[in-house]
Structure 1
Amino acid sequence: MGFLDNLKAKLAPAKDKVGDLAHQHGGKIEQGLDKAARTVDQKTKGKYSDKIVTGTQKAKDAVDRLGHKDGGGAKPPTA
């Protein structure tokens, strides 16, 4: 067994735990992401709004994937 196989085997329980937490607290995580995005956008006076929105959406999508909320299929992009 190679190094990466050992690493994957050791990290599997952590991934399951993170997935469970993301599933249980996904709404709170997304609220926190929105609040952080608003704060950063205010501090930068809207200069990076498009990048903040894109990053926030990618983070939310990652939380959804971790929590298996999307049913395994690809989510359509939101405008």
Structure 2
Amino acid sequence: MGIADSFREKAEQAIDKIGADRVKDGVEKAGDKLDEKTGGKYADHIDKGQNAASNYIDKMDGDDSNK
């Protein structure tokens, strides 16, 4: 199992257990904390990752409105 498969499986489990909105909130909070810890040095990269993760979660949840 590769890293992408592992992420997909964990994301599906989290979405099923707590819902897509709460998973996306967690991604947002984690990214914000990481941005804080790095002093904003990687803010653009972190934001890009947060957006990609949010879009992926929406896709997994069947909501394609954020494309």
Q: Give the TM-score normalised by structure 2.
A: 0.71
Partner of residue 3, structure 1: none
Partner of residue 46, structure 2: 52
CA distance in 2, matches of 1:46, 1:70: 30
CA contact (8 A) 1:21 1:67 kept: no
Q: Given residue 28 of structure 1, which amino acid in structure 2 is its aligned partner?
A: R
Q: Given residue 16 of structure 2, which amino acid in structure 1 is its aligned partner?
A: L
Structure 1 counterpart of 2:16, from 7, 16, 21: 21
Unaligned runs of 5+ in 2: 1-8
What percentage of aligned pairs have identical amino acids?
29
Higher RCO (CA 8 Å, separation ≥ 6 residues):
1
CA distance in 1, matches of 2:61, 2:16: 7
What is the 5 A alignment of 1:1-79? 18=12, 21=16, 25-70=19-64, 75=67
Report how many aligned residue pairs link the two structures. Answer: 56
CA distance in 2, matches of 1:29, 1:63: 8
CA distance in 2, matches of 1:27, 1:67: 10
Higher helix share: 2
Deviations 1:33-72 (A, max 9, x none): 110011000000000000000000000011001011127x
CA contact (8 A) 1:37 1:56 kept: yes
Unaligned runs of 5+ in 1: 1-14
CA RMSD of aligned residues (A): 2.5
